[in-house]
Structure 1
């Protein structure tokens, strides 16, 4: 049974985010859904390689998944308005899990690509819905902490799911992983049934004034998370290998843990960023520090690899990058929620998720192209340049924000409101 929803006034009177109806079921569902996704993320490409397919096809399974994810995210806000959170999230969890069983049919190219795309559809709708739903059901003064806690659940799910999928495949075979992922996703679908039956808000037809273009409001935080996500695409693809190349002995041990180190740092500092935002009463306090940490981390990676420094410097670089990325993730989402009206929280979630997912996919491809021609150090140097562009955009936005003329109640608007007699037309 779905829980009863509260009015906005009742939600704001809650003294804890944990008391919001549907809050705990949402987080359990998100944990299960991302667990199912994490189980299969490294396994499907590995299965393709083990059955004689090329590295191109193995990579295409992830590429098709992400393409379907981003395409679905575009239409999810409309579905949340017309259908509602509960049915969209239940259907998305089913789409994320049930197609996993399709991989039991074999490893032909069309099977690998088709069912990867179907799972991507479920993942795309679910990621947009869960971020937007948190903004709908949690008091505004706890939104930073709630978003940070969402990052904790996602991080733990990935830290458990990624190695578990590989372990299950090695010990019991690929079919076991497919069935396990489907079952875990169905747990998410069951928990989604407990989510309040509410719909994304619509803008009232009689709302005063003309709207500012949504893209003008969210472009800068989108660039901030996108540039770091592009860097993460290179980090997640090449850092474990770079660690082992730098030090075959120590790196063989550390390399397997590098992504967990980055993910753990991101998880902790994303939550910290949310706590800071709630205490400050607004988003953005840790945005520039997070971007600076991300830049320092990826720049240090480039320097360490180029100069052959100790592999332990890469561990420090991973902590810096992961922590900075975690803070920027939270700040970008909160800034989008803060800049857009409540009627567009689903659009804010969609833009944030598309910036993140598209950035990760594009970064892994483009910076992989750079790595093939300028080594890992060259790829990370370019990644550092991308993050620097994001920092410049944030600095420019801060400056313009302090001097920006608002779209309402400014001089130009007031002059337009003054009645001016019109001259009669000449015949």
Structure 2
């Protein structure tokens, strides 16, 4: 499954894919490296794991506020803010990796990540024709998985071969580069009335359980594998993880358009 030619001509859609890839690339560069740096500095495994916990906590809290923010601020403004909050605070890690500093920076970066994860997917849904929404979303997933396939092993490689400093710099630079394409994003807000009403709780149960289980497994594996599997080819393992994610997403968009995302999820 690739992006249909018609989708490439939709104003703002390719730019949204590129911006999301840059943001997730910066996210994945630091994801295994920051906990590893904490452990290398003598921190406990619990402290190393708490870095990702704090990051994802502020991510989730931000995501809960996003429907209202998108309605008032628009997708583009939130994506720009998200890139800045996710990227620039990473430079603070050059000055100190003391636990309070790292946890504070992780909290701020999590806010930016929460903005990007929701606004990027929502913007794709607003821009893509309804009949090609699955393909458009699938292409977004492919762009994200491809950037993670590079970022996860590259961050560890640079940290082990040289130091964590270039990783922290790249972690700031890559998401910020997403701002280059932000000018090509249209100013879009959800249509009036789309933020009101709540879907039935039962309808949310399956996707919530599925994505929650996946997020727990993915977060634990990517954050702590380098600490637990000393002497093993962890960068290769993480690259394989992202590559398999890319394969899964490759056909998911097309299948969702054919049989429906609800049937595909189980």
Aligned ranges 1:20-59 → 2 under 5 Å:
20-59=10-49
RMSD of aligned Cα (Å)? 2.7
Structure 1 position 238, deviation (Å): 7.5
Deviations 1:83-136 (A, max 9, x none): 001111001100001101111221222111111111111001110111111100
The correspondence of residues 209-228 of structure 1 with structure 2, limited to 5 A, is 213-228=199-214
Compute the displacement of 1:186 (Å). 1.0
Tell me the equivalent position of 2:88: 98
Report which of the two structures shows the higher radius of gyration computed on alpha carbons: 1
For CA contacts below 8 A with separation 6 or more, give which structure has more relative contact order.
2
User: Gaps spanning 5+ residues in structure 1: where?
Assistant: 1-13, 289-427
What is the TM-score when the length of structure 2 is the normalising length? 0.88
Post-superposition offset of 1:193: 2.8
1:239-296 deviations in whole A, cap 9, x for unaligned? 8899x79xx9xxx45x65333333322222222121122234x3334333xxxxxxxx
> Which residue pairs with 2:258 in the alignment?
279
1:149 corresponds to 2:139: yes
Q: Tell me the alpha carbon deviations over residues 325-357 of structure 1, each in whole angstroms, 9 at most, x when there is no partner.
A: xxxxxxxxxxxxxxxxxxxxxxxxxxxxxxxxx
Equivalences for 1:22-421 in 2 at 5 Å?
A: 22-203=12-193, 213-233=199-219, 236=222, 252=232, 256-280=235-259, 282-288=260-266
CA distance in 2, matches of 1:267, 1:133: 21
Residues 233, 177 of structure 1: CA spacing in aligned structure 2 closer, same or farther, 3 A cutoff?
A: closer
Find the aligned partners of 1:140 and 1:234 in 2 and give their Cα distance.
35
TM-score w.r.t. the length of structure 1 is 0.56
SS at match of 2:178: helix
Q: Distance in 2 between matches of 1:172 and 1:236?
A: 20
Question: How many residues are paired up?
Answer: 263
Per the alignment, do residues 103 and 82 of structure 1 end up closer, same or farther by CA in structure 2, a change over 3 Å counting?
same
Q: Aligned in 2, Cα 1:284/1:90: closer, same or farther, shift over 3 Å?
A: same
* Matched position secondary structure for 1:16: helix
Judged with a 3 Å threshold, the aligned counterparts in structure 2 of structure 1 residues 101 and 187 are, in CA distance, closer, same or farther, namely same
Equivalent residues of 1:91, 1:189 under 8 A apart: no
For the Cα contact (< 8 Å) 1:239–1:258, is it kept in 2? no
| Displacement after TM superposition at 1:212 (Å) | 6.0
